[in-house]
Copies of this chain bind each other. A is one copy, B any other.
Amino acid sequence: MAQARFNEVLTLDREVPEYKSKDFASDQDVRWCPGCGDYTILKQVQNAMPELGIPREQIAFISGIGCSSRFPYYMDTFGMHSIHGRAPAIASGLKVTRPELNVWVITGDGDSLSIGGNHFIHVMRRNLDLNILLFNNEIYGLTKGQYSPTTKEGFVSKSTPMGSVDHPFNPLAVALGADATFVSRAMDRDPKHLNSIILRANQHKGTSLVEIYQNCVVFNDGVFEAYTDKATRPREALYVEHGKPLVFGENDSKGIRLNGLKPEIVDLGEGGVSLDDLWIHDEKDLTKATILARFFDRPSEHVHFPRAFGVLYCVDRPCYEDGVNAQVAHAVSKKSKTLDDLLTGDETWVIK
């Protein structure tokens, strides 16, 4: 009966139009600072949309609060700009009740890891089929420059005039600890790669986390320059691909090898080791993913590793909404009671 009401309006089976990227741009003026990394990310998301093969009205973008969270206004899909930190929970309610929708969560490092930290870890464990794009600029942009839970120690911000003494989160490690099933990293300045990761995130059935390094030109300009700058990128960014060895450096001259549990950097080619000796990336291996995610915070080891970009981890696990809806479907299929039965209950008596 309830389903019937939906059917009065839903157009779920309609043919998918031939979309162009601009079909996903809303009529609202985009309002980020000139040069903000958010622009490229918006562009790549809009570019990815036609490839999903989903009618526009079946897509929803839910965000919290922050510069990045303005995102839904710019997408010509359904959208909600909600309150600070709560987007994953709102999206969960939407997805549980409307599993056929394609739901995206847009969030910032403060939104998802500070005030929204609890919802963030719980959505990971529940593994609802959502795509979460986490715009990490290591700063609170909208409130004008306080340090965030991803800001490096020592950073001088408005709220830390003598430098931050707060140890930052490693967002991907937090997600893995909370049993995330899809964990990836990309950056605003490598649009092609970003685009491919967005599409892979969408393919994954389960909660897909894409951490996107995003430059805040105003309050934290250049914090990811080592990875985005063409000169330093080869030695600082390690692009990982399932089944491929971990190579990086100018002309892929370097590689990563596992020595027991310890990763080490090796030179390839003459005098060095061969590709066959290298760590082969395996998206399904939680231990490897954990090591990869933590490449940059192993200070005790005094080794400077490149930062990993790409899909670090991707495994299948049942989605929460499927469990819920299977139970409901099962109960509905076995339905033996009418509403009148329910109102009547087990024991009644008659007054005459």
Query: Whole-angstrom distance between the alpha carbons of A326 and B323 in the complex?
Result: 51
**A88 sits at the interface (CB 8 A):** no
Decide: A165 near B320, CB < 8 A? Known: A121-B174, A177-B176.
Answer: yes
Chain B residue at smallest Cβ distance from A172: B177
Give every chain B residue within 8 A of A330 (Cβ-Cβ).
162
Q: State how many angstroms separate the Cβ of A160 from the closest Cβ of chain B.
A: 9
Q: Are A179 and B165 in contact (CB under 8 A)?
A: no
For A, the interface residue count at a CB cutoff of 8 angstroms equals: 49
Q: Are A315 and B327 in contact (CB under 8 A)?
A: no
Query: Whole-angstrom distance between the alpha carbons of A179 and B176 in the complex?
Result: 12
Of B173, B260, B326, the residue contacting A177 (CB under 8 A) is B173
Query: Whole-angstrom distance between the alpha carbons of A167 and B323 in the complex?
Result: 10
Of B177, B315, B320, the residue contacting A166 (CB under 8 A) is B320
Of B162, B318, B331, the residue contacting A162 (CB under 8 A) is B331
3 closest pairs, A vs B, by CB? A177-B177, A165-B323, A118-B118
Extra contacts besides A125-B166, A174-B178, A287-B287 (8): CB < 8 Å: A121-B121, A125-B169, A162-B327, A165-B323, A165-B324, A165-B327, A167-B318, A261-B287
Question: Can you list 25 residue pairs at the A/B interface with Cβ under 8 Å?
Answer: A115-B118, A117-B118, A117-B121, A121-B121, A162-B327, A162-B330, A165-B323, A165-B326, A166-B320, A166-B323, A169-B179, A173-B177, A173-B178, A173-B179, A174-B178, A176-B177, A177-B178, A179-B297, A258-B260, A260-B260, A261-B261, A261-B287, A286-B294, A287-B291, A290-B290
